[in-house]
Amino acid sequence: MNVLITGSNGFIGKNLKISLEKLKRFNIIDFNREHSEEDLLIAVKKAEIIVHLAGENRPENNEAFEETNHMLTKKICKFCSEKDTKTHIIFSSSIQAGNDSQYGKSKLAAEEELLKLKNNSANFVNIFRFPGVFGKWCKPNYNSVVATFCNNVANNLPIEIKDKSNKLNLVYIDDLVDQILEVINSPLDEVFVDTKSVHQKTLGEVAEIINSFRKNRTKLYVANMEDSFIKALYATYVTYLPKENFSYDLISHEDERGVFVEFLKSKLFGQVSFLTSNPGVTRGEHFHHTKLEKFLVIKGKARFRFRSLDNNEKFEIFTDNEKLQVVESIPGWAHDITNVGENEMIVLLWANEIFDEKRPDTFSHEV
């Protein structure tokens, strides 16, 4: 199936094009600024579906709004009306369509051209009025405050906020692309399509979340990935990091027993760490009232010993990297772990809470 994407080099266009190419059942036809009107005519004649994303947001002069947003759409409609076959057109309008700005007026004029085409031909039209769109490859300091904030915070540049209470309607690029794909596969009867998965946030909220990403990264704190907006915003933020910041250092606590390294922390899921032990070394020898731990030996051989504080019952578990067995600490049972192999032992460790020096819930006890 031939799909023409106008503005395929733009933010939304690039994301959509990659998703369509991965499906391997669409032939993509590109149309961008470097193409001519004749190129457009040829492309429209070939296309069964047109995703019309090309547009001006911040041109050097207002005439470009009319030329690109309105007149380009008018040309596409003219070429579609002259075809022998019908075309499904998906148009990216804006929630600003019809307002007093030149941009809003030009988008409304483009919508009207598409409505005339639909009413006077067999061509099929779906129109999205997009809110603010954010995600990878969005251009900062252009038309997205999210892109600007992410870029500036990731690169230690200041951000300016005039009104923190200013309300934003935002949609993540992956959610938007998924919805466009749905409409491509199943054209809707209604002309105007409501954008799904829109997040309503204030400017202050967005700035605060993005700033927290930078502050918490080296503190090992992970954002709440159960929140779909925060998950999408973090995925966007890291794409603006300079390459030298793709990595960051961890602190290794080393003594004669081996090393202990904290990796990730979250108020939701607790803490992930790893430890090493030299042959014959025993770690632990403590108990918890409420704190839970899960151990996974990924290198070497381990013996876990347990003693009940209730009835003094004892037992042992032996495991190694070939068995890949999770061993859990149980509240009220003292426990330790000994490297019973001949080489270094490495153990992954998850705890259901972040270590708190004031309330460690870790008490020494003989096992």
What the block records as the tokens of 33 is 């600024």
Residues facing 272 on adjacent strands: 264, 350
Catalytic annotation present for 103:
yes
- Model pLDDT, residue 61: 78
- Model pLDDT, residue 155: 97
* Mean pLDDT across 95-117: 94
What the block records as the tokens of 186 is 């199943």
Instruction: Quote the pTM value.
Output: 0.92
* Mean pLDDT across 147-163: 96
- Of 69, 199, 194, the closest CA to residue 132 belongs to 199
Percent of the chain exceeding pLDDT 90 equals 92
Confidence at 68, pLDDT banded by 50, 70, 90:
confident
**Could you tell me the residue ranges of all domains in the chain?**
2-130, 134-170+200-248, 252-364
Q: Torsion-angle region of residue 232: left (phi > 0), alpha (psi -120 to 50) or beta?
A: alpha
Alpha carbon of residue 362 to chain centroid: 37
User: Domain 2-130 classified CATH 3.40.50.720?
Assistant: yes
What fold characterizes domain 134-170+200-248? Rossmann fold (3.40.50)
Which residue matches tokens 């470009």? Answer: 64
pLDDT digits (tens, 9 = 90+) for 71-97: 999 999 999 999 989 999 999 999 999
pLDDT digits (tens, 9 = 90+) for 292-321: 999 999 999 999 999 999 999 999 999 999
- Model pLDDT, residue 64: 83
Measure the CA–CA gap between 274 and 348, rounded to whole angstroms. 4
Sign of CA dihedral 6, 9, 10, 14: positive
Measure the CA–CA gap between 358 and 64, rounded to whole angstroms. 63
Residue 78's alpha-carbon distances to 40, 81, 230, in angstroms, are: 11, 5, 43
2-130 matches 134-170+200-248 in fold: yes
- Model pLDDT, residue 201: 98
Q: For all residues of the chain together, what is the average pLDDT?
A: 95
Alpha carbon of residue 7 to chain centroid: 23
Confidence at 44, pLDDT banded by 50, 70, 90:
very high
User: Domain 252-364 classified CATH 2.60.120.10?
Assistant: yes
Confidence at 63, pLDDT banded by 50, 70, 90:
confident
pLDDT digits (tens, 9 = 90+) for 210-222: 999 999 999 999 9
Measure the CA–CA gap between 205 and 164, rounded to whole angstroms. 8
- Given a cut of 80, whether residue 146 has pLDDT beyond it is yes
* Residue 154 backbone phi and psi in degrees, to 5: -65, -25
- Given a cut of 90, whether residue 59 has pLDDT beyond it is no
pLDDT digits (tens, 9 = 90+) for 318-358: 999 998 999 999 999 999 999 999 999 999 999 999 988 88
